[in-house]
Structure 1
Amino acid sequence: MNRILKYYLDTLIHTGTFSVIDADGKLETWGDGTGEPLVVRFNTRAAERAVALNPSLKFGEVYMNGGTDVVEGTMYDVLALIFRNAGNHVTSRPWMRAIERMRRVARGIVQYNTPRRARSNVKHHYDLSSQLYDLFLDEDRQYSCAYFERPDATLEEAQIAKKRHIAAKLRLDRDDLRVLDIGCGWGGMGLYLARNLSANVVGVTLSDEQLAIARQRAEEAGLADRAEFRLQDYRKTEGPFDRIVSVGMFEHVGVGFYDAYFSHCSKILKDDGVMLLHTIGRYDRPGNTNSFIQKYIFPGGYIPALSEVMAAAERSGLIVSDVEVLRIHYAETLKHWRERFLARREEAKALYDERFCRMWEFYLAASESAFRWQNLVVFQLQFTKHLDALPITRGYMSAEEDRLRQLDETGAENVTKLRGREAAE
């Protein structure tokens, strides 16, 4: 076995039962013998060398390209064992820290998300076949952290709960408020606000696929007069708006554009307006996005520390009026996505190929592991422009959430009854 790789595993794996079959067919085992045995096989010496020198990037890359296989257990099991052993110190070896330092120096270039580059980055991920996302997302195509009010909630229930949780924080206390949805995805959040809260929504996206589906959904729901979806960069959107919501988009802004992002939001938000930002974040100091995820899944993406977000928001003149940290919710969301994807893996393979499926499998498994055992959480940050724009206690949030829950449950019952009648006919 490659000596650097062996040294790394010697110092990393202390619990569990982890075995590696090297390119020469020799098996070595690490851990304390607990848990289900996991076995990874390297198919070439080049694969061993690559992972030894840069595991953050190369383990996923080598797996994606067939240089290694999991022969006992699953990729999620392997990554879970590694992350549990490593904690927040996966890149603890000196040469790995050096790589991460260089990546941080270069992040201004990697995250230089001008409008043209931002559109290219979005197309890389979100303009994949819409059939792919049908394989693992909920019916509303929510591609962001769900909100699990109960441990046994279904993905559909948790995604509806997420939408009403956000809607309650926006405090849409009268009809016809004008709402901007930055990074509207396939339209689910905007349609929820237009349907349930009589909002006039403008949703902006840089994805052609998302735009087409969002517009189609608005027409089919009879909400096209209240939910307008545009192919537009947020920097080009003109106000004013009573409310601004952004769910799962801020991760694509890039550190160098945080000031521009918040300054523009402040400019187009009315003086008595409310903004709700829902974003993945890290609970510790600033760092780097996982190199595999950055290269293959979300180019130009970055997961911020709260300190980075708040500094830019403060400079914009916005006032932070509420902060909530969602812990473990995204791990549970990703578990649902991962299991659904694997259950329909052959369909994904028919859309793309085996290499793509391995890439997607690694992405979902690594992401879930990071939210369970590393430093990732989700921030929900509420902003206003004046101290008296909202009630001074949080009671209005829970009251509105309860009201919307009843509305959601009534709507679900009506849909079930309607489907039952249609089936009978």
Structure 2
Amino acid sequence: MFERLLRAGLNRGQVTLIDHRGRRHLIEGGAGPRVIVRIHDAATDRALFFNPWLKLGEAYMDGRLTIEEGTLYDLLDICMASTDQTQSIALQRLTGGIQKLLRWWHQNNPIGVAREHVAHHYDLSRQLFEQFLDESMQYSCAYFATPETTLPHAQQAKMRHIASKLLLQPGQHVLDIGCGWGGLGMFLAKTADVRVTGVTLSKEQLEVAKARAEAAGLSDRVTFKLQDYRHETTQYDRIVSVGMFEHVGVKHYGEFFDKVQQLLKQNGVALLHAIGRRDGPGYTNPWLRKYIFPGGYSPALSEVLPVIEKTRLWVTDIEVLRLHYAETLKNWRHNFNAVRDKIRSLYDERFCRMWEFYLIGSELSFRYDFNMVFQIQMSRGIHAVPMTRDYMFDWERQHAALAAGKAEAPKRLGERAAE
């Protein structure tokens, strides 16, 4: 049955499918990778036909589908290039319609449940993330000047890019919603001489962030809390959120932006950085939702902007990053593969296959135009940001030169006051 599904829709590459009886089926879709795949039992064959987006990953994780020639990357490349054809129109409409109806339940993230969903992924061993992330522990889209830029340099460039849009001034107080392991907060404190309060729902991230801030001598300027952002009451000069909005869920967008509006001072500026979808409202891939990000959803801009409008916040800038996350995920995948034996010792082979499937599938979702990253700059007042965007580029270039040792450091607040 899986062979029929592939034959009906494949438009790239070549798949040789060996069924559970040992029979070979050649499916040719044109130029592209070539793989030989073995299905080990009839039940897996049927499951792949009716629900390939969930069952393909499960079969690979459990060893019920194995790749005898080629790689998993090749197989997913072929399948995702043919994604619009690899199910009948009727079956696509039926399964897609059901998923859209259920997405309000799938994205239910009230206070309490949200922490459980976050813990599923982010409370995994810190040793896991240390193995494949860069030194700054950035677990979000980097910013690549070129595909050849190294991951550490691209992550530093991402943080500079975000900082340039915040119009930071020494002494300001910044709220980091979903602060991760603290890398962005520490970067802002060091680079712009600001105070940062970060909130997270991950106990593991909180411990790491606090330890890193103390080791860097930044504990007096950077504070991290285990807290739902909806419980925050202090007003801030700046608010930033990177890679957290994907865990909010459509039904909670009103809560999120109302809270941003409440916590932002009158002339404050906020910056939201999140994964989005370019093809309009949809639903989360069922395998990704079940095994990697329960409660997660990457929205279309058409689902986000109307909610912001209701808060009466100004949307002062929008930028769409396209292939940057594909390059980020490629680097993570290479790093992961280089230390796969260590990760297997932390968990097991099934876990490694699960993460391999996650990293490859996510990378290809950006390469085939399904996903992108958006950055939305917001303010409460019409005069909060300059009329042109030059200030972003000027700040970014100055601090890039400073990081490279080619510029003099800007004077801090106390030094200016002394003059």
Q: What interval of TM-score do these two structures reach, taking the shorter chain for normalisation? A: over 0.9
Partner of 1:133: 129
Equivalent residue of 1:52, what SS? helix
C-alpha change, 1:126 and 1:213, in structure 2 (3 Å) is: same
Taking structure 1 as the reference length, the TM-score comes to: 0.93
Partner of 1:219: 214
Deviation at 1:311, TM superposition (A): 1.0
C-alpha change, 1:91 and 1:299, in structure 2 (3 Å) is: farther
Structure 2 residue 246 is the aligned partner of structure 1 residue 251 = yes
- 2:64 pairs, out of 53, 63, 67, with 67
The one-letter code matched in structure 2 to 1:70 is I
Structure-to-structure mapping, 1:10-409, within 5 angstroms: 10-32=7-29, 34-86=31-83, 88=84, 92-172=88-168, 174-409=169-404
Structure-to-structure mapping, 1:406-421, within 5 angstroms: 406-410=401-405
Deviation at 1:91, TM superposition (A): 5.2
Equivalent residue of 1:271, what SS? strand
Number of residue pairs aligned between Structure 1 and Structure 2 = 406
The one-letter code matched in structure 2 to 1:21 is I
* Structure 2 stretches lacking a partner, 5+ long: 407-419
Cα-to-partner distance string for 1:321-340 (whole Å, 9 max, x where unaligned)? 00000011001100111111
Partner of 1:421: none
Equivalent residue of 2:241, what SS? strand
Cα-to-partner distance string for 1:314-371 (whole Å, 9 max, x where unaligned)? 1111110000000110011001111111111111110001111111110111101111
Distance in 1 (CA, whole Å) between partners of 2:343 and 2:383 is 50
Deviation at 1:90, TM superposition (A): 5.3
Equivalent residue of 1:391, what SS? coil
Equivalent residue of 2:12, what SS? coil
Q: CA RMSD in A?
A: 1.3
* Cα pair 1:14 1:30 within 8 Å, conserved: no
Deviation at 1:74, TM superposition (A): 1.2
The one-letter code matched in structure 2 to 1:120 is E
* Cα pair 2:5 2:87 within 8 Å, conserved: no
Equivalent residue of 2:404, what SS? helix
Distance in 2 (CA, whole Å) between partners of 1:259 and 1:181 is 19
The one-letter code matched in structure 2 to 1:77 is D
Distance in 1 (CA, whole Å) between partners of 2:329 and 2:278 is 19
* Cα pair 1:126 1:210 within 8 Å, conserved: yes
* Cα pair 2:8 2:85 within 8 Å, conserved: no
Cα-to-partner distance string for 1:104-155 (whole Å, 9 max, x where unaligned)? 1111111110110000000000000011111111111100000001221000
Distance in 2 (CA, whole Å) between partners of 1:396 and 1:336 is 31
C-alpha change, 1:136 and 1:92, in structure 2 (3 Å) is: farther
* Cα pair 1:203 1:230 within 8 Å, conserved: yes
Distance in 2 (CA, whole Å) between partners of 1:148 and 1:399 is 18
Distance in 2 (CA, whole Å) between partners of 1:7 and 1:269 is 55
